[in-house]
Structure 1
Amino acid sequence: MGAGTVREAAEGRDAARAVLRGERVGIGGVRLPAQPLGWLAFDGEVRRGSAPLGSPAAGRIEVRLCHPDGRVRAAALDAPRPPLPLVAVRCADWVPAVRGRAREVLAQALADDAAGTLIGLTPLVLRLARRERGTWARDLFAAALRADDPVLAPWWRPPRPARWWRPARAARTMTGEEPDTVLAWLRRSGDLPTRRFAAGLTLAAGAFGVRELARRACAEQDPVTAALWTDAALAAMAADGPDGAAVDFLLAGHLPLVRAAGVTALRGAGRGAEAAAFLADRSGPVRACARRLVRQEGGDPYDHCLALVTDPGRITPYAVTALVECGRTGDGPLLHALLARSGRGGDAVRAAALAGLRALELPDVALLLPLLDDPSPSVAREASLSLVPVAASLPADLLTARIAPGRPVHTRRAAHRLLHTRGGIGALRASVELLTDEDPGVRRAAAERARNLLTDPWPPALPLLDPEVGVLLDRCTGLVGENVMHNLRRALLVPDDGSGPGR
């Protein structure tokens, strides 16, 4: 569960508790939920803590719509202007009478104000569709949008906009479309399920041509929605023939899956020679598609990548990675030479060269150890990852010195990774020392590694009856449960009485 989801649910529960306490709703009072998950949490919280009969809160429409008694909920639906989010929730109620009446109210609201109801409730309705009886409202909304997509009048001031949608100005910037209909507005929603729902309805209606489909794929930042637009664009080109402008949109896509589709479409468009330009793309799948297409066109991807890496004006970290991905084993000297690169982008190229050497299984301890002190965090990280296979043979005192407080954060992280890989009491000692590090990221990593060391495998590979182990376990209090800590002390610190192993 993400932080945003937790926050939405907490806001809904807080609002419910305030309403149950009798606090006033509205300006200066309780703010009802603004997000769909907040309404679901509000409903559950009111149900669990329903106000006693006769209390001021018991008469509130929000409380009655969430009351544990189905008869109270059904009667509340006959009140004038009940809150539509809670009406939508009741459309999935387990009591048939409540469910049926709520559906009548929601259908009437849709008939009276189609645009406002669809915009305001679609995110909530899509969450409710995951429930056993929750698909009815989603199907109702889909039918309304398919039959006659309501027009917003005026489009820049839609009726009852929900707080989680992006402003129309931001929407136009993203796609260039004026959201003059509800479906167009929903296609721009900041709520991902809503955007995916609207995209699916649009594709089912066949409303866009291949260039518009590709343009939307290019601009989309949600992978699921982008895949919908991309697949539709590719299907359209497969049926009607390639379209150069559509291919260009795909090649410029924000997401790798879109660019990969564009590279794949180059051959059908008779533009296979352009694939070489994507051999050093920042995405691995795009590079793989480009390599395949270059080979299909009779070229050698390795030659293209080698030309990029050996040209100081064109070399990039991704070009180095692409060269290694071509699978040649004789590039060790070239990669070693790149470790001396300086200037703009030099750190990223050196880090990529280290990763390439690791992929070629060419670790050089004498070369890598000094790089733990490199001023570049990416270089130090790659050096430590390359040293992991030989961590047990590295000098422990050299690594321990590099987790001292005066060292740079990235050096402490790199050395800690290797000390943890070595295992044993040295690994526990290093993690315990870093539990109080000034950097929160280092502290989190130290706590996680100490916890892992103490719990998996069992029992940990620590010396028996060692007083230092007892001191270190004392400093690990709170990282593992009390029962686990008790068993650790019994296994590691209690002498064997002859009845069985101390462990």
Structure 2
Amino acid sequence: MIRGRRDNDGRPPSGAGDGGLLGAVRVAVHEARDGRWEALNSLVEVLLKVDAVGDEVVARSALALVAGSPGLVVRLDWHARSAPWHGRYQQPAMRRASERFSGVSSGPVVTVLASMHGDGRIRERAVAAMVSRPCREVMPFLVLRTADWVKPVRDRARAGLAVLLADDPAICLSAVLPMALRLDARQRAAFAVTQVQAAVLAATEQVWRALLSEGGRRERWFVFDIVLAQGWLRVSDLVTFAESDPDVRLRTRAAQAACREAVWTRRLDVLQRLARSARAEVRVMALTGLVRAGKDADVVGYLNDDAPLVRAVARDAARRLGIDVREHYRSGVDTDRPASGAIAGLAEVGSAADARLLQRLLSHERARVRAQAVRSLRLLDAVVAGEMAALVRDPSPAVVREVTAALRPVAGALPPDLPWELLRDERTELRRAGYRLLRGRGVDVELRAALLLAVDANPRLAERGKADATRITRDMTRTTWRRSPRPELQVTEAEHAELLASTARAAAALGEEISQQLGLAGE
């Protein structure tokens, strides 16, 4: 059995030994997740300090912080065998950890560090120690060794993992599952995944339900697919998942299974309930089920739904009932309070002849209606540059985004100064709109706009301007052996002076190299 003092879920007490040392472990783990060799070595140094304290509760809490990131465990394992043999790291921390390891009597921290040693005999002894004195915090490191390249190490780890999963699945599964799935694509990793699958199949309902409610995204997918295939979930369970689960993949799978079962058993109440879901993917499944159940009349009521797929299913049902869908949408749009789904539906089935109904909505009091009207006119290819330009300073950012998308294909018909005025406006969405409208107007225009945006007060816009200015500059100054021709910067003397002034203002943001290249490119 897995040893150690635990809470009800098998974890060490959350507050036990949680002091400055564990705080240092947290910092080291955070830095090592994406850090280089030095960050990983610092993490091992901190773990060795934890081991020196001799408190098993603190040691297990430290290991839990590391094991919480399976990717970090894999990187730490790689790090143990990639230490440089020169400089100030000639005696890396991993080597000292293996020297401190003495077998079963060693603490859990130094044991897991020794399990990553380059010498297979040391790894095998460490695996034996982890199996002899198991705790949930070392389980991810044991899983890692089941894919070891040395057969004796691999066999001992596999035997130990199989026994531990059989003895105490309630504690082991949640600790083993994330690491097993992380190794799934690795060579020799199939054993761990197969053992976890067998443990889930043999687990009690309480255990697999806990995994479904507490696990990470990949773990929940894995467990859900197993229990769904086994038929362990009732329709009420599936409906609950479909209506409230935060994960879209799991929600869709649950809705699909619930609707299929409802069609087979003629549970129309389940289909009608899911058809009222706030999630579009759930509504689509439910309406498809109602269609299969022959309830086209119920499905037609969703012609004005906000989701395109839902509208498509409803239109298919309407055609079978002989309903003129286009006339339905025209009537829905020609009201004082048109539904946004009706506006979008008219764009999907209508033509440019319906543009008149949509144009009058451009001045509607509701921003959502205005935005949808602009989008629909764009889809119908019925954009009039003058009308849209008048909306570009709309109070709603959503309307501004739609107007910008609609104006880009006809940007040449706009007043020449309008995009530049927008680019200097106080509103962030207008500056973004102006920048988008200047795209595709030539290298000189794009470079001027990018240099202005590089010093924008909005960090995201400034980053975009810097990236574009860097790209344009490198394209202009790249070597001539490239196949594609270099863009030429054709500017007047006044425009050249303006570019140099803009470069000077943006020099701090662009960096010395790009600023110098811009100065040469402009000559």
- Calculate the TM-score normalised by the size of structure 2: 0.77
Give 1:47 shift.
Answer: 3.6
Does residue 390 of the first structure (1) align with residue 417 of the second (2)? no
Structure 2 residue 78 is the aligned partner of structure 1 residue 44: yes
Q: CA separation of 1:253/1:197 partners in 2, compared to 1, >3 Å: closer, same or farther?
A: farther
Residue 220 of structure 2 aligns with which residue?
Answer: 195
Residue pair 1:435, 1:443 contacting (<8 A) in 2 also: yes
Once residues 94 and 313 of structure 2 are traced to their aligned partners in structure 1, the CA distance between those partners, rounded to angstroms, is 65
Q: Which amino acid aligns with 1:149?
A: A
Gaps of at least 5 residues in structure 1 are 151-179, 495-503
- Residue of structure 2 aligned with 1:115, choices 165, 170, 187: 170
Q: Which residue of 2 aligns with 1:409?
A: 428
Which of residues 53, 56, 61 in structure 1 aligns to 2:111?
61
Equivalent-residue separation in structure 1 for 2:306 and 2:32 (angstroms): 35
Alignment match of 2:268 (pick from 244, 262, 278): 244
Q: How far is the alpha carbon of 1:7 from its aligned partner?
A: 7.7
Aligned amino acid, residue 206 of structure 1: G
Secondary structure of the structure 1 residue equivalent to 2:363: coil
Asked if 2 retains the 8 angstrom alpha-carbon contact of 1:279 and 1:287, the reply is yes
Residue in structure 2 matching 1:185, options 188, 210, 217:
210
Query: Is the contact between residue 220 and residue 254 of structure 1 (CA under 8 Å) also seen in structure 2?
Result: no
CA–CA distance in 1 between the matches of 2:395 and 2:113?
60
Quote the offset at 1:236 in angstroms.
3.3
Deviation at 1:256, TM superposition (A): 2.6
Provide the rounded CA distance (Å) in 2 between the counterparts of 1:12 and 1:52. Answer: 15
Give the alignment partner of residue 105 of structure 1, picking from 135, 150, 160.
160
User: CA offsets per residue over residues 399-451 of structure 1, 9 Å max, x none?
Assistant: 212221x5211111111111123233122111111111111232133234434
Question: Which 10-residue stretch deviates more, 321-330 or 472-481?
Answer: 472-481
Q: How many angstroms apart in 1 are the aligned matches of 2:418 and 2:336?
A: 36
Q: Where do residues 139-288 of structure 1 align in structure 2 (5 Å cutoff)? A: 139-146=194-201, 148-150=202-204, 181-210=206-235, 212-237=237-262, 240-288=264-312
Distance 1:8 1:264 in 2: 48
Cα distance change on mapping 1:199 and 1:55 into 2, 3 Å: closer
Q: 2:490 matched to 1:463?
A: yes
**Match of 1:69, as an amino acid?**
D
Following superposition, the deviation at residue 243 of structure 1 comes to: 1.9
Distance 1:6 1:246, change over 3 A: farther
- Secondary structure of the 1:380 match is helix
- In structure 2, what is the Cα distance between the partners aligned to 1:7 and 1:261? 44
TM-score with structure 1 length normalisation?
A: 0.80
Q: Structure 2: give runs of 5+ residues left out of the alignment.
A: 1-28, 52-56, 84-91, 102-109, 476-483
Quickly say closer, same or farther: Cα 1:325–1:102, change in 2 above 3 A: same
Kept after mapping to 2: 8 A contact 1:221/1:254: no
CA gap of 1:477–1:293, structure 2 versus 1, over 3 A, is farther
* Secondary structure, counterpart of 1:99 in structure 2: helix
**Pick from 345, 355, 370: which aligns with 1:350?**
370
**SS of the counterpart of 1:145?**
helix
Q: Which amino acid aligns with 1:67?
A: H
Read off the aligned partner of 2:339 and give its amino acid letter: T
1:154: which partner in 2?
A: none
- Provide the rounded CA distance (Å) in 2 between the counterparts of 1:329 and 1:465: 42
2:316 aligns with 292
Whether the aligned pair in 2 keeps the contact of 1:20 and 1:46 (CA below 8 Å) is: no
What is the match of residue 334 of structure 1? Answer: 357
1:425 and 1:15 mapped to 2: Cα distance? 46
**C-alpha RMSD over aligned residues:** 3.2
Bigger proportion of residues as helix: 2
Residues in 2 aligned to 1:275 and 1:480: alpha-carbon distance in whole angstroms: 59
| Cα displacement (A) at 1:388 | 0.8
Distance 1:190 1:301, change over 3 A: farther
- Distance in 2 separating the partners of 1:395 and 1:225: 50
CA 275–69 in structure 1, closer or farther in 2 if over 3 Å, else same: same
Taking the aligned partners of 2:470 and 2:309, their CA distance within structure 1 comes to 35
Which whole-Å CA distance do the structure 2 matches of 1:216 and 1:324 have between them?
A: 34
